[in-house]
Structure 1
């Protein structure tokens, strides 16, 4: 992934580009969802940018493993979130096109890397901490309302 992003950024600098990404919602037995504390101290769903040749559900599964240590299988497409923009800490501007999947744990164990993931914790609907961006706020809110098969 890093090579692809470096390649694109080498051509366009910090200008706005579309980035295709995927996230996973992982629920525990109590109906709480797994969130990751990201650099900067705010929380979000596990996920990230797809690599070349990778399907979106595969990106959600890979990114979740990299960021949480959990091996998951994407089971349902919850929605597609595309009308958002962000500016990264390095000045790169992106329009993230994110597919949100409901996923089940099939192996692994929770672990943080101290770089992309500072902490991992399950949260219920009424105890969601400060989320790092509007896109993730909307994804989490939609999940808890039971919406599926839609786009924003």
Structure 2
């Protein structure tokens, strides 16, 4: 079930609260994997909406696999980022609450999965980050590189 389409069929573009899950995947150089998003044409962390009946861990792992081709396991909790608001290109508005994990890659090969959401995937170093899609992801990336854990904002 596509939760966002379902809820939007009732509320239109009005501001709602949406729960997301995603996080940080690194390579051997401690570079982080970013996804070039189709909606904003900007980079962000892999992840997506929590569907009804899913835990945030299940949603994060599912979304990462759908978007990157990688199957991941949670290494630790980076934080919960809840005081953020976003407006999407189609006019939808939401307060976004995102549970961010730090993942370890279990298996798989990096491939652009869902072409409806992902234009490209690349690893970036802390010193070479592209423009990030929203403040929530900027804060999570900064927290990761600052070695902060258990964040709640």
TM-score by length of 2: 0.94
Q: Map 1:53-64; keep pairs closer than 5 Å.
A: 53-64=53-64
Which residue of structure 1 aligns with residue 125 of structure 2? 124
Q: Map 1:69-148; keep pairs closer than 5 Å.
A: 69-113=69-113, 114-148=115-149
Which residue of structure 2 aligns with residue 44 of structure 1? 44
Whole-Å Cα distance in 2 between the matches of residues 79 and 54 of structure 1?
18
The answer to whether the 8 A contact 1:21-1:47 is kept is yes
SS at match of 2:149: coil
Q: CA deviation at 1:147?
A: 0.5
Task: Write out per-residue CA displacement over residues 3-35 of structure 1, whole angstroms, 9 at most, x where no aligned residue.
Answer: x22221122111111111111201111111111
Q: CA deviation at 1:116?
A: 1.1
Task: Write out per-residue CA displacement over residues 25-58 of structure 1, whole angstroms, 9 at most, x where no aligned residue.
Answer: 0111111111111124310000010011101011
Unaligned runs of 5+ in 2: none
Which residue of structure 1 aligns with residue 30 of structure 2? 31
Task: Write out per-residue CA displacement over residues 66-91 of structure 1, whole angstroms, 9 at most, x where no aligned residue.
Answer: 11010001121111000101111211
SS at match of 2:20: strand
TM-score by length of 1: 0.94
Alignment RMSD: 1.1
The answer to whether the 8 A contact 1:24-1:61 is kept is no
Whole-Å Cα distance in 2 between the matches of residues 102 and 150 of structure 1?
12
Q: CA deviation at 1:122?
A: 0.7
The answer to whether the 8 A contact 1:23-1:101 is kept is yes
Deviates more, 1:6-15 or 1:95-104: 6-15
